[in-house]
Structure 1
C-alpha cells in the first residue's frame, strides 16, 4: 500500500553528530547576547516601528533559546551588536507576519496551497534533519502573499518535527513537471528574492542541506539569476543532481528519488495527520518550557525532549558549556541538561554547471549573513 503519512521519528540508521565546545571568546559573546534578552521586556508590534510596543510573550521567550542565539551569532560572524539587532528584527517580523505570539498562519488558511502536495514533510536525513520536499512542478495557485505564508507555515511545521538535539532541516527540491498543477511556472524573481530574504534574515543556520534534482534549463536560469542573492554559507549547503540516497536513508526516502517509500500524496489524509503531529510536538515543547521556568535562554535539547521534568530551570548570564558546529555551523546546550549534539559536516560546493552558465545577472547588494 502507498505511504500517505509523515514519519514521526528518524530512521534508526540516522545519527545526530557530536557537539564541539565553544571557545572562551565565543562563550563571552554568547553570554552578552543572553544577558541582553534576559533584560529585554518589550518590542514594537510591527515592522514599521510605530510607537506601539508589547511585552515579550511566552511564545516569543520560548523561541529565544540558546540555540537561537548561537544561530544568529554564527550568521553575524559573532558580532554581538549585529546579532542582537537581527534577533530583535526577527521578533518584530514574526509579529508582523503572524507567526508569534498568537499565530494567524493556521492550517486552514494555507491548506488550499498544498492540495497538490507541492510542499511535503516526509522522513529525516542521515543527520536526523526532517526533510521538507519542495515540488514547483505541482504549483496549483497563482502568485500571491498566501504562497509565501504557506512556505513560512511549512518551515514552522518542519521545525516542530525536529528531534531533540537537531536544529536544522533538509530541503529536497524536485523541479520535475507534473500534470497535477495548473501552473508549473517557476517563481517570479521578486517572489524568489522575498523568500530568500525571509530564509536568510529570519531562519539563519536552519538549512543543513538542500538537494536539488530534475533541474530544467529554465530552472538553471532562475537559479543563476537569484544566485547573487544567496549568501556564501547557504551556497555551500546546496547539492545539485546527486543521488538522494547518499543523504537520506532509503527507508524514509520517496521512491521517486531512489528510496523505498512509495509515497502518495492524498491531501485529505496527509494534511490533518501532519498538522496534528506538529501540534503535539509544539504542545510538548511549550509544556517543557513552562516546567523549565518560562524564561529565555533554555535549550532546545530540553524543550524538544520527551523527558518529564520534575523541577524547573532558569537561564543565566553566567558562562555555560555550549556546544558548537565547526566552521560555519554551531549549536548549544542547556543550563540544566547534557550538551546538545548538533554538528554539521562539510557539504559540497555549488555545482560547476551553475557557475558556468553565461547569462546576465541583476546587480544587487548581497547579504553578509545567512
Structure 2
C-alpha cells in the first residue's frame, strides 16, 4: 500500500535561500561485504593532532630530537623548504614546520633516524622532480581533468577531496595514448603529482587546521592488470614523498572480489591504516559519500549535486538532505512563491530507481494544478535533476519522489532558489 511521509505532507521540507542547510543524521548501513565488515570492526577514525601539548611525552621528545638532528645535519635538508614552509626557522618556533616534521615522524613511528632519512630523500626528490613548480605547468591532459583525478570541494570537516577514477582506461586506444611508452607514463605521473600538489595548496599546515586531504577512489571498470605499473609508481611516489597527507581513503564501486583480497590482507594492516578505510560497493555510493561529504560537494555522477562548473563560481549553495524509506512517497513543498517568480531547483536521490514528478499548486481555489514535470521513473545512474519554472500566479511547488515500489531506504538532497519577477 502506498504511504505518504507524514513529515513531508504535514510539515513540508523547506530550504531558505539565505540559510545554511541543517543536515539530518543518516543512519549507518552495513555493506554486505567482508571488506566493509572489517572496516566497521576497526576502531573509529580519529585524526592526528598537531598540537604539541596533545602529544605524548615520547612524541614530544622525538620531535625535539628530530629538530636538533636536522639542524646538525650536513645535508641540504636543514635549509630546505617544503610546500613553502622552512623546515627550520631562524627562531626555531614555526608551528607550520612542526606539522610537516610530525608527518614524517608519524610515517616512521616516531623513529627519528628513519624519519630523517625519509625527509632527506623527499627533499632530494622534490628538487629533482621540480615539485614546487609543477602546479603551474600545462602537461596536456585536458581530457583527463575532472575525469581521472581531480580535486572537488571539501568534506564536512573542511578537508579537500581528491577523486580518482581509472575506468576510462578500459578503452585500449585511451590507454595507449596515455601509457603507450615510458615517456608518456612519466608525463602522466607528473600530472598526477600536479593534482595532489594543488590539493596540498588548500591545506593550512597549522595545529587545529586542515592538514590532510580525503581521497575517494572509484574502482568501477578499473583495468587492474593494465594499470599495474602506473598504480605502483603512483603508490610509491605518494608513500615516499607525501607522508600522512591523506586523512581518509574512501573506496567506492568496490567489486566483490576485493572483499576476498581485503580479508586476506587485513591481518597484516595496522589498525591505524584500517581506521582510515571506508569501503562501499556499487549501489551504496551516495549513501557512503553523504556521511563524509555534503551533497552539494559530491559530484553528480556519484549521486550528488556538484557539477564541474559549479565550483568556479565560489562556494556552492547548500542543500537540504532527507531520506526516502522503502515503500514511502515523499513530497517536498516549496511554499510562498509569488506570481511571476522563477524557481530553479536541483534534486537527487542516491541510486534513484523511483518515480519523480513536479506540480505547481496555485493558492487560488479556482485555479488548476499544473504538471511541471509529469511522473517518470528515473533509473539508477542518472544524474541530479536540474530544472526551473516561472509561476503564473502565487502558489507552491511540490517535488514528489515515490519509492513505494522499493524496500530500500535511499538518501536524497535538494536545493532551490526563487527569483522574484522584476517590475519596471
TM-score range, shorter chain: 0.5 to 0.7
2:376 matched residue in structure 1: none
Aligned to 1:168: 212
Q: 1:253 aligns with which of 286, 290, 298?
A: 298
1:85 aligns with 2:117: yes
Is structure 2 residue 158 aligned with structure 1 residue 128? yes
Q: SS in structure 1 opposite 2:278?
A: strand
**Secondary structure in 2 aligned to 1:111?**
coil
Are residue 202 (structure 1) and residue 241 (structure 2) matched? yes
- Aligned 1:205-216 pairs, distance under 5 A: 205-216=244-255
Distance 2:297 2:67 in 1: 38
Aligned to 1:280: none
Bigger helix fraction? 1
Q: 1:67 and 2:90 equivalent? A: no
Which residue of 1 is the match for residue 370 of structure 2? none
**Aligned: 1:37 with 2:70:** yes
Change (3 A) 1:227 1:159: farther
CA distance in 1, matches of 2:135, 2:203: 19
2:138 counterpart SS class: helix
> Would you tell me which structure has more strand in proportion to its own residues?
2
Question: Within 5 A, what are the aligned runs for 1:330-349?
Answer: none
Alpha-carbon contact 1:125-1:247 (below 8 Å) kept: yes
- Gaps (5+ residues) in structure 2? 1-19, 24-46, 88-96, 180-184, 314-424
Aligned with 1:161: secondary structure?
coil
Post-superposition offset of 1:256: 2.8
Q: Which residue of 2 aligns with 1:185?
A: 223
CA displacement, residues 327-361 of structure 1 (integer Å, 9 cap, x when unaligned): xxxxxxxxxxxxxxxxxxxxxxxxxxxxxxxxxxx
Q: 1:162 to 1:229 in 2, by over 3 A?
A: farther
**In the alignment, is residue 142 of structure 1 matched against residue 178 of structure 2?**
yes
1:303-332 residue CA offsets vs partner (Å, 9 max, x unmatched): xxxxxxxxxxxxxxxxxxxxxxxxxxxxxx
Paired residues, what number?
240
Gaps of 5+ in 1: 1-10, 45-54, 178-183, 275-370
Where relative contact order (Cα < 8 A, 6+ residues apart) is larger, the structure is: 1
> Which residue of the other structure, out of 10, 15, 23, is the alignment partner of 2:56?
23
CA 1:17/1:98 → structure 2, altered by over 3 Å: closer, same or farther? Answer: closer
The 1-side partners of 2:264 and 2:293 are apart by 29
**Residues 193, 226 of structure 1: 8 Å contact kept:** no
CA contact (8 A) 2:146 2:308 kept: no
Q: Give the drift of 1:104.
A: 4.7
Distance change in 2, residues 1:204/1:104 (3 Å): closer
Cα separation, 2, equivalents of 1:255 and 1:172? 14
Using the size of structure 2 for normalisation, the TM-score is 0.48
Taking only aligned residues, the RMSD between alpha carbons, in angstroms, comes to 3.9
Superposed CA deviations along residues 13-43 of structure 1, whole A, max 9, x for unmatched, are 89x9975611222111101111233344643
Distance 2:145 2:291 in 1: 30
In 1: Cα distance, 2:74 partner to 2:131 partner: 19
Q: What is the TM-score normalised by the length of structure 1?
A: 0.54
Larger radius of gyration: 2
Distance 1:81 1:61, change over 3 A: farther
How many angstroms apart in 2 are the aligned matches of 1:87 and 1:235? 25
Residue 231 and residue 86 in structure 1: after superposition, are their counterparts in 2 closer, same or farther (change >3 A)? Answer: farther
> 1:255, CA displacement in angstroms?
3.0
Relative distance call for 1:142 and 1:222 in structure 2 (3 A) is farther
